[in-house]
Amino acid sequence: MERKFAAPNGRIWILRPRPYVRKDEMGSRITLEFVSGAETRVVNCAREEWNIAEPDLAELFARSVASGASRSIMSQGNGTGG
């Protein structure tokens, strides 16, 4: 499920779950991508944070890091690198 997030500066980000997670986190964690233009940010969170009607997207965005900055995570599927 994709969601949209408007950052405080007005920039629109598409937020979507990645189709995979680390093997030991399959039942409890999820990795999310924030994508805006050629920039991708990622955040790993508890599934309970994402699987609710209104997750705190601002909090998730605040914890996100640039794609590739954390544990060699690379962008996928959006044609912007990786």
pTM of the predicted protein model: 0.74
Q: Answer whether residue 42 shows pLDDT above 90.
A: yes
pLDDT at 82: 43
Tens-place pLDDT, residues 54-65: 999 999 999 999
What is the three-state SS of 9-74? CCCEEEEEECCCCCHHHCCCEEEEEEEECCEEEEEEEEHHHHCCCCCCHHHHHHHCEECCCCCCCC
Residues 7-25 pLDDT 10s: 999 999 999 998 877 777 7
78: closest CA among 43, 38, 42?
Answer: 38
